[in-house]
Structure 1
Amino acid sequence: MASKRIVKCPNCGVFNTNREYCKNCNTLISHQKKRELKKQAVEQQEIEKVIYEKENPNLAERLKNHSNIFYRIFGWILYSVITIVSLIGAGLAWLIAMVAAG
C-alpha cells in the first residue's frame, strides 16, 4: 500500500497530494527532488572548479612549461623553493605538535 503524502505549497498555500510540483503555481514542493537538484548543483560546481584549475595553472606551472629556456629554469627554481618552504613549514608544524603532545 502506497503512503499518501499531502504537502502544503509554501508559495500559494494549496494542499497537494503525492505531487512534486504544486498544481496551482507549479512550485517545486518535493523535498527529495530539492535534494537531488542541490546535489547536482554541487557536483556541477566541483566540476567547474576542477576545469578552472586545469585551464588556469599557477605562475610556477606556467613558467615550467614556457618556450623560453630561461623562464623554464626560473619556473623550476621557483617551484623548488615553494616545495622546500612548504616542507620546512610542515616539519615545524609536526615538531611543535610533538612537543605539545609531550
Structure 2
Amino acid sequence: MATKRMIRCPKCGIFNTDKEYCTNCNTLISHQKKVEIRAENVKQQQVDKAIYEKEHPNLAERLKKHPFWLYRIAGWFLYSTIMIISTIGAGLAWFIAMVAAG
C-alpha cells in the first residue's frame, strides 16, 4: 500500500498530496525534483566549462599550432618547460609525503 505524502508549500502554505508543484501557486515543492534540477545544472556547468576550455586554449597550446615555425618551436619549448616543472613539483610533493609518513 503506497503512502501519501502531504507536503506544505513554503510559499503559500497550502498542503499538497504527492505533487511536484504546488496546486495553488505552482512553486516547486518536491525534494527529489529539486535534486534532479541541481544535478542537471551541475552537468550543464561542466559542459560549459569544457566548451570554454576547448574554445580558449592556453598560450602554449595556441603557439604549438601557430603557422609560423618559430612560434611553433617556442610553443613546444614552453609546453615542455611547463611539463618538466610540473613533474619535478609532483616528485617533490611525493617525496615530502613519504618523508612525513615516516
TM tier relative to shorter chain: over 0.9
Which position in structure 1 is the counterpart of 2:6?
6
Aligned counterparts of 2:42 and 2:98: Cα–Cα separation in 1: 38
TM-score normalised to structure 2 length = 0.95
In structure 1, give the amino acid aligned to 2:17.
T
Q: Which runs of 5+ in 1 are unaligned?
A: none
The correspondence of residues 9-88 of structure 1 with structure 2, limited to 5 A, is 9-88=9-88
Percent sequence identity over matched residues? Answer: 68
Distance in 2 of aligned mates of 1:28 and 1:38:
13
Distance in 1 separating the partners of 2:51 and 2:11: 37
Q: What's the offset of the Cα at 1:59?
A: 0.4
Runs of 4+ deviating beyond 3 Å: none
| Cα RMSD after superposing both structures | 0.9
**Structure 1 CA distance, aligned partners of 2:43 and 2:30?**
20
